[in-house]
Amino acid sequence: MAEMVSLTIDGLKIHAPAGTTILEAATDANIYIPHLCSNEELAPYGACRLCMVEITQGERARLVASCIFEVADGLEVKTNTERVLNVRRLVIELLLARNNKHPALRKIADELGVKETRFPIEQKGCILCGQCVRTCREVVGVSAIGFSGRGITRKVATPFMESPPDCIACGSCVYVCPVQFIPMKEENGVRTIMKYDYPMQKCRKCGQYFAPKKQLEYFSKITNLPLEHFETCVDCR
Amino acid sequence: MKTRVKKIIDKYHNDKGFLVPILQDVQKEYNYLNREALNLVSAFLEVPISQLYELGTFYKAFSLKPRGRHEMKLCTGTACHVRGVPLMKDNIERILQIQAGETTPDLEFTFETVNCLGACALGPILVVDGEYHGNLSISKTNRILKKLGKKVKIDEES
Ligand code: SF4
Ligand code: FES
């Protein structure tokens, strides 16, 4: 068990293991802090800045991203001051400029009392939270996709903007995206992610399509088991 | 190509921590980040190609398209701008028949604009293959291009 530290969040005394983030500690204590890019399966990242909170350590009060700032003894955290809310409103306005349609974003905007963004609406869809890229890298372990460019030209990209050679068509990136930006469909034994096609494998026993061939090949490679082993669906095993 | 790329990687002891310097060397070797070389780096170092693409598109110093033998960078910072850089830019674009940010089809020239070279007192400035040409004028751009082997029609200004 890790060493415990005590802090206050919105006046509430809280004990949390050292090394956890403010966001985790708050969530455990049932205190809601809006957030979009943090995901407990992934390493702390701090991209969206929605989770800003005000902390007081000693004399000075300042704003930090709660999803990357670790708890410390004697820390005073406030999640709802006017200063915090102002920043969050600005952040959600900026996000709305990239996507002002998605219900997840609209909901956060509503909570903050933001009706519309003052910025020109670009409707890019993707909010660059990076969850897809990080999931593919950290959880799936193939790092098939990444970012390209920087600043205003930054976007999620496949290498050379072509069909990603390392992709195993697992669909994790699709699943993890908070704004459903990456389309996926399955038809006649072919899974299509973004605009790239991946053939599916038919189960050797029941004959149903059940998983992308590339994913099974990947399983076989990392487990060192023969491919046939994976060509039967879970139901038939 | 394999041995050339291998040589670069060996220089950095096969260390993934040196990705950027490795790519810089690849860029120097081929004058751009050529795709085959990137695939080799990816295979040798076991670094996903997505990460190399990310780096290649992130830094201005890298290019995924072949670059010209001569590199020209024109400063469009405020000080240079007010001293007439837009006119010189038009002139260079007209002579090279490309837009800023492009490379001539014969791979002789790459022409780019940059935001400030930090030498405003010398402005307008054009950097040609690392050499600074200050107090630029339209006729000076003509002369420079001519020297580099470009046929330049001399018009009224000069
Ligand atoms: S579908 Fe492809 S890109 Fe998406 S997480 Fe899986 S391997 Fe990565
Ligand atoms: S959740 Fe903290 S910056 Fe996105």
Q: What is this model's ipTM?
A: 0.87
Task: Ligand 2, residue A47: give the atom nearest the CA.
Answer: 3
Neighbours of A72 (CB within 10 A): 14
Partner-chain contact B49 A166, CB within 8 Å = yes
Query: Which ligand approaches the C-alpha of residue A66 most closely?
Result: 2
**Does domain B70-147 fall into CATH 3.40.30.10?**
yes
Query: Which ligand approaches the C-alpha of residue A136 most closely?
Result: 1
- B126 touches B75 (CB < 8 A): yes
Ordered per-residue pLDDT tens for chain A, 237 residues: 679 999 999 999 999 999 999 999 999 999 999 999 999 999 999 999 999 999 998 888 999 999 999 999 999 999 999 999 999 999 999 999 999 999 999 999 999 999 999 999 999 999 999 999 999 999 999 999 999 999 999 999 999 999 999 999 999 999 999 999 999 999 999 999 999 999 999 999 999 999 999 999 999 999 999 999 999 999 998
Partner-chain contact B53 A166, CB within 8 Å = no
B39-62 pLDDT tens trace: 999 999 999 999 999 999 999 889
* Beta strand residue intervals within B76-136, DSSP E: 102-103, 109-114, 126-128, 131-133
Partner-chain contact A143 B48, CB within 8 Å = yes
Q: Of A65, A66, A67, A182, nearest to A128 (Cα)?
A: A182
Domains, chain A, ordered by start? 4-111 (3.10.20.740), 131-236 (no CATH)
Question: Structural domain boundaries of chain B?
Answer: 2-58, 70-147
Q: How far apart are CA A216 and CA A200, in angstroms?
A: 10
Q: How far apart are CA A76 and CA A13, in angstroms?
A: 9
CA of A27 relative to ligand 2 center, distance in Å: 13
Q: How far apart are CA B52 and CA B49, in angstroms?
A: 5
